[in-house]
Structure 1
Amino acid sequence: MSERQTLSYLQQRFASSRIQPQTRFGQNFLIDLNLVNLIASTAELGPRDVVLEVGTGMGSLTTIMAAEAGHVVTVEIDHYLAPLAREEFETLDNVTLLEQDALKSKNKLHPQVIETLREKVAQIPGGRIKLVANLPYNVATPIISNLLDMDPWPVRMVTTIQRELAERIVARPRTKDYSALTVWIQAQCQAEIVRIMPPSVFWPPPKVESAILDIRPQKVMRKRIVDPAHFHSLVRGIFIHRRKFLRSALFSAVKDVLTKPEVDQVLAQMELDANTRAEQLTPQQLLDLTDLVRLMAAEKASTPTVEDR
């Protein structure tokens, strides 16, 4: 490992293979060896862990993790780069390299990735999933977001992502970075920024700063979410109109199932002023709000109309 992720080593390997880093794949290779080790150590890997790594790169982080984890499932979209990575860990029998996109679409993980993770977890007593990766910026949001909607649920996510995205995920209410993604993650996880990193620690250097983010899903918090799909969808709908007052934003999101008077009733039960904005509510308040909408819509749907009687 001491030589495998240095700038000179990477440049030599790329030059000899006549390939270049691909910006369309978000390829920025972490060349600070201490930071590569920090990502792995933060994840606290053990023999029960099946690690998902998206963006294999040259396999340096993969190799470190394979020494600690039960299995590493690493995904590389670049078919020119994947063979170079495979050479780095070809003697390891607990690494599976998938040469493909990790996403089936923008909003779904690829079924092959999910199937492989489940297969490896089933082979390890007490097996569990962790995401540990230097994530390409262009897939970071859907990867993190969709893993929280997966079964089995990940127990840890330690990733290198764009600093701006990391700050959105850990943002507090009433700040400009607070968003639907913030709420979706904080409603079921604890998250913190471990380290801010300048562009100079990557090759080629990105145009923005990066951050190592540690996300720790909490089962107790997740159990409070009765219908995760409804919660996720409605919060996104409300935040599309984040600058609108809550009454207007909520009605825009639920107008197919609730009337304006019914939206007013929801806000009254929540003791929320109609002039409140979504960004002022905590994740718990938004969870309570979406639950109330869900229950009211279900009750309305089950009540016979005049024509049905």
Structure 2
Amino acid sequence: MGTEEHEGPQAAAGVSAPTIEVATPKRTKEIIAKYGFSFKKSLGQNFLIDQNILNKIVAAAGLDKTKGALEIGPGIGALTQRLAAEAGKVTAVEIDNRLIPILRDVLSNDSHTTVIHGDVLKLDLKQLFAEQFTGVTGVSVVANLPYYVTTPILMKLLEEKLPLEHIVVMIQKEVAERMAAKPGGKEYGSLSVAVQYYCVPEVVCMVPHTVFIPQPNVDSAVIKLTVRDKPAVDVPDEDHFFRVVQASFAQRRKTLANNLTAFVGKDRREALTEMLVQNQIDPIRRGETLSLEEFARISRSMLDAGWGTKQ
């Protein structure tokens, strides 16, 4: 995969294992000072220093010694420590090479933990799963995701249809609220539809910005996404379905008929309006009021008519 892998104690020969939790202000500051670590704002680095929040994250994942956990962006290993105590296999992917020696130190006693230096957005995740999680009964992603890449990472995990049970992540509060939003509210949008197509979302807890070093400017939330055995609605062409969804939210103040007319062409407006009525959808509704099933009905009808398909 073009990455460096570091197995627990083998990669940390001669390094003594820590005996106390990483996730405290004192211990985090000690580690930062010991390694002369400086935060990179471009990588969205914020280290969690609240053990109660860590407990809630790990508990939501429902891990045991038969299961595996993939962590993205382990930082200095505060969450990784807890995952290693619960799961039978832990693999952590860290993009910042400066953190690799710190993780080797913190995780030196955990023989079932592997640290990979790499960018999760560039990794072949199916290959990673085949190499790292053979023999486990299920795998969950558990992570404190950098704000700036939250959506790309989550959509990669879902669109690649990896064998996942849960995705339990700490993300920006507003993004978590959008993922879990129901039709009819201002938070509901194309991200809500995409996430709920693949998963059942549940906000686990809110996380104040004060429990990080350094403190971010906004509050966070822990969200649990239980991956569905099959998508929430049956559509013949997923790409087309999501294009229809995106088009429906193109301009939120516009009606569904206006947004979709821009998508299929003005010459089809009358036929489009008739199609919506036939599907029991009022053309003057807005995209944020539609359920996944209603989007699926529109997508199927438009596909049958050859509208909005890629040329």
The answer (yes or no) to whether the contact 2:126–2:162 under 8 Å persists in 1 is no
When normalised by structure 1's length, the TM-score is 0.86
Distance 1:3 1:143 in 2: 28
Aligned-residue Cα RMSD (Å) equals 2.3
Q: Which residue of 1 is the match for residue 261 of structure 2?
A: 251
Distance 1:51 1:229 in 2: 29
3-state SS, counterpart of residue 86 of structure 2: coil
Aligned residues: 291
- 1:255/1:23 CA distance change after superposition, 3 Å: same
1:87 paired with 2:113, answer no
When normalised by structure 2's length, the TM-score is 0.86
Paired residue type of 1:118: A
Residue 239 (structure 1) shift: 1.5
| Structure 2: 5+ residue stretches without partners | 1-18
Q: Which residue of 2 is the match for residue 52 of structure 1?
A: 70
Residue 283 (structure 1) shift: 1.9
3-state SS, counterpart of residue 187 of structure 1: helix
Percent of pairs with identical residues: 32
The answer (yes or no) to whether the contact 1:147–1:153 under 8 Å persists in 2 is no
1:160 paired with 2:170, answer yes
Paired residue type of 1:279: E
The answer (yes or no) to whether the contact 1:50–1:117 under 8 Å persists in 2 is no
Q: Which residue of 2 is the match for residue 276 of structure 1?
A: 285
Alignment equivalent of 1:224, drawn from 234, 251, 256: 234
The answer (yes or no) to whether the contact 1:3–1:9 under 8 Å persists in 2 is yes
Paired residue type of 1:30: L
- 1:269/1:2 CA distance change after superposition, 3 Å: farther
Alignment equivalent of 2:197, drawn from 172, 182, 187: 187
Distance 2:59 2:106 in 1: 20
Q: Which runs of 4+ in 1 moved over 3 A?
A: 220-223
Residue 36 (structure 1) shift: 0.9
Distance 2:264 2:70 in 1: 36
Residue 224 (structure 1) shift: 2.4
The answer (yes or no) to whether the contact 2:235–2:241 under 8 Å persists in 1 is yes
Residue 221 (structure 1) shift: 4.1
Alignment equivalent of 1:69, drawn from 84, 87, 99: 87
Q: Which residue of 1 is the match for residue 16 of structure 2?
A: none
- 1:230/1:119 CA distance change after superposition, 3 Å: farther
Q: Which residue of 2 is the match for residue 116 of structure 1?
A: 128
Distance 1:129 1:228 in 2: 24
Within 5 Å, which residues of 2 pair with 1:188-227?
A: 188-222=198-232, 224-227=234-237
Distance 1:38 1:79 in 2: 28
Paired residue type of 1:124: G
3-state SS, counterpart of residue 271 of structure 1: coil
1:296 paired with 2:305, answer yes
